[in-house]
Structure 1
């Protein structure tokens, strides 16, 4: 897992042809705006969240975010623990996001 500042996260993402953007907020939070091309998977679903993570392609590079960067940091650690080696946390999350949202 790597904690990346927004500039690092965006630059790495833009140069990654194997990227997958993962939003681990609740559906209600995601409805307020998401980073384009992201997929929402609510970390608060507990075991269901873990089961969904296990279905992910372990060869992808995951760019993970939440509201503040705390839940996404936890999600990255969980992902690493189940064999997903490349998980990148967006420090500051959506609270500090300066890019596009949809």
Structure 2
């Protein structure tokens, strides 16, 4: 797992053909705006969160974010424990994101 500042996260994401953007905020937060092409799995769902992660391709590279970077850091740690090869946390979360926002 790597904590990446926005510039690193965005640059790696743009150049990664194996990338999946993962938003771990609540559905309500997600509906207020999200980074384009993100999939939403709410980390606060406990076992359901883990069950949904287990359905994902562990060989892909995941770019994970939340509101501020705390929940996504936890999500990356969980993903690491579950055997995901690469998960990158967006430091500062979507609050500090300066890129595009989809609604």
Q: Same fold (TM over 0.5)?
A: yes
Verify: 1:42 aligned to 2:42, yes or no: yes
What is the 5 A alignment of 1:1-102?
A: 1-102=1-102
Per-residue deviation, residues 38-95 of structure 1 (Å, max 9, x unmatched)? 0000000000000111111011000000000000000000000010020000000011
SS in 2 for 1:48: helix
Point out 4+ residue stretches in structure 1 off by more than 2 angstroms: none
Cα distance in 2 for partners of 1:83, 1:58 equals 7
SS in 2 for 1:44: helix
Q: Which runs of 5+ in 1 are unaligned?
A: none
Cα distance in 1 for partners of 2:29, 2:58 equals 26
Q: Let me know the Cα RMSD of the aligned residues.
A: 0.4
Cα distance in 2 for partners of 1:97, 1:14 equals 15
TM-score, structure 1 normalization? 0.99
Residue correspondences, number: 102
- How far apart are residue 100 of structure 1 and its match? 0.4
